[in-house]
Amino acid sequence: MPAFIPPAKPIIGAEERAAVDRVLTSGMIAQGPEVAAFEREFAEHFRLDRACVAVNSGTSGLHLGLLASGIGRGDEVIVPSFTFAATANSVALTGATPIFVDIEADTFCLDPDRVEDAITDRTAAVMPVHLYGHPADMTGLQAVADKHGIRLFEDAAQAHGAAIDGKPVGSFGTFAMFSLYPTKNMTSGEGGMVSAADAEVERLLRLYRNQGMERQYENEVVGLNNRMTDIHAAIGRVQLTKVDAWTEQRRRNAAFLDANLDHVVTPPVRKGVRHVYHQYTVRVPEDRDGLAAALRDEYAVGSGMFYPIPNHRLAPFQAPVDLPETERAARECLSLPVHPSLSEADLERIVDAVNTLAKAGA
Ligand SMILES: *Cc1c(COP(=O)(O)O)cnc(C)c1O
């Protein structure tokens, strides 16, 4: 059996190790100049045209973004159910209620028409997820948000560098969060980056990140300690210099899979969209779980199911909603390796394995 092809593989090089060593040697470890530089460089690199605030995880970023936008008890925030639980968790932790809405069959992202159907007089905002690195329909969602006077946020955890008609994700919402977890398109070890649409949201993000303090011991609001360390920021700064090449490799790998896979439904890309392939997700209408097991056992090809249980059915939420496209995606979706460490031989093995198994199963 050939070596196992993992579904994801963080890349940490000598430059990251040297940067960490530099910070450790300096003796200044907690949030400091590396974090400030990382915030500036991140905003500039992804052409966000707005300020960024670094935090200790993507989940903290969502939580603080919601708090800084004034979301709390009594509010409803519309989210997809077909996402990682952090999306809904962060809403619930503010005291607001996540309202789960169905996705589009092609992009796996929030459906603007279904969002409009779910709006009530308590709806404060809608928070789409740019799932797998494909941008949600921000034009459609912005139109619904404007029509009903609600805010638009972005869970861009999986979408560093994705864009719609050249406009980068992370530049649309009142706030947007990028995750820097190791398996995301770039990492700081753990971490999150939040972009802020205006100076007041930025100021509140900085307050909530640091116990409510802008000036030491003059606490203005009840806050948290969600600071990023300079150790993590130093890793992130190095990764910023590499992420574009990795993204191009992801896109080339995806193009190869698009061109060569048969018998499974390859991921469509909407016109004008730049997809950054955090995941390369196919639909397997019959026996997805059996295909995943055979890929692993017979071909040593790893894969992932993101996400087999929709959030609205998880124990903390149990929302009585009917989301047929979400249920179908949870049943059919399988993410194949697309990460930049794949060799040509790996890609050929993935194609051979999927085509052979999916054909036999069809
Ligand atoms: C990874 C992820 C998060 C949470 O980010 P962490 O850095 O792991 O806290 C939130 N939303 C989505 C869609 C994610 O994929």
Give the integer Cα–Cα distance in Å for 88 and 63.
10
Q: Is the CB of 129 under 6 A from ligand 1?
A: yes
77, 127, 130, 158: residue to mutate for ligand 1 pocket, most atoms within 8 A of CB: 158
Atom number of ligand 1 nearest to Cα 86? 10
CB-based contacts of 310-316 (< 8 A; 24+ apart in sequence):
310/81, 310/82, 310/100, 311/79, 311/80, 311/81, 311/82, 311/83, 311/85, 311/87, 311/88, 311/98, 311/100, 312/81, 312/100, 313/81, 314/85, 314/88, 316/89, 316/92
CATH second-level architecture of 14-240? 3-Layer(aba) Sandwich (3.40)
What are 298-333's pLDDT values in tens digits? Answer: 999 999 999 999 999 999 999 999 999 999 999 999
Helix, strand, coil percentages (3-state) for the chain, rounded to 5, are 40, 15, 45
- The CB of 187 under 6 Å from ligand 1? The reply is no
Ligand 1 atom with least separation from CA of 59? 9
Given a contact cutoff of 8 angstroms between Cβ atoms, the answer to whether 159 and 128 are in contact is no
Ligand 1 pocket mutation, candidates 55, 56, 57, 59, criterion most atoms within 8 A of CB: 59
Predicted pLDDT of residue 215: 87
Topology of domain 243-360, CATH: Aspartate Aminotransferase, domain 1 (3.90.1150)
Read off the tokens for 262.
């048969």
Distance of CA 267 to the CA centre of its chain: 17
Q: Is the CB of 154 under 6 A from ligand 1?
A: no
Q: Which residues in the chain come in under a pLDDT of 50?
A: none
Nearest ligand 1 atom to the CA of 131 is 13
Q: What is the pLDDT of residue 360?
A: 85
Range(s) for CATH 3.40.640.10 in the chain? Answer: 14-240
CA nearest ligand 1 atom 7, residue: 58
Cβ of 59 below 6 Å from ligand 1: yes
Give dist(CA 11, CA 246) in Å, integer: 10
pLDDT at 362: 53
Q: Where in the chain is the domain with CATH 3.90.1150.10?
A: 243-360
Write down the pLDDT at residue 361: 77
Model pLDDT for residues 142-190, shown as the tens digit of each residue: 999 999 999 999 999 999 999 999 999 999 999 999 999 999 999 999 9
- For atom 6 of ligand 1, which residue has the closest CA? 58
Residue 286 has which token pair? 């019959």
User: For residues 194 and 108, what is the distance between their CA atoms, to the nearest angstrom?
Assistant: 23
User: Which of 63, 91, 154, 179, when mutated, tests ligand 1's pocket best, judged by the most ligand atoms within 8 Å of its CB?
Assistant: 179
Q: How far is the CA of 120 from the centre of ligand 1 (A)?
A: 27
User: Cα–Cα distance between 184 and 334 in angstroms, integer?
Assistant: 17
The H-assigned helical ranges of the chain are: 14-26, 33-45, 58-68, 86-93, 112-117, 138-148, 199-209, 230-240, 243-260, 288-299, 324-332, 344-361
Q: Write the single-letter amino acid at 272.
A: G
Q: What residues contact residue 62 under an 8 Å CB cut-off, 6+ apart? A: 86, 87, 90, 91, 127, 155, 177, 192
Which residue has tokens 């719609």? Answer: 164
**DSSP at 257:** H
Ligand 1 centre distance from Cα of residue 157 (Å): 5
Q: Which of 137, 136, 134 is nearest to 160 (CA)?
A: 134
Measured CA angle at 112 (ends 323, 186), to 5 deg: 90
CA of 85 to the centre of ligand 1 (A): 8
In short, whether 83's Cβ falls inside 6 Å of ligand 1 is yes
Q: How far apart are CA 227 and CA 56, in angstroms?
A: 5
Q: Write the CB contacts of 293 (distance below 8 Å, at least 6 apart in sequence).
A: none
Measured at the CA of 341, the angle between CA 338 and CA 346, to 5 degrees, comes to: 70
Cβ burial, residue 196 (10 Å; 0-12/13-18/19+): buried
Q: Is 155 in the pocket of ligand 1 (CB under 6 A)?
A: yes
What is the β-pairing status of strands 163-164 and 167-168? antiparallel
Find out whether the beta carbon of 86 lies less than 6 Å from any atom of ligand 1: yes
Please list, in sequence order, all residues whose beta carbon lies within 8 angstroms of the beta carbon of residue 55, skipping any fewer than 6 positions away: 61, 64, 191, 192, 193, 194, 205, 209, 226, 227, 228
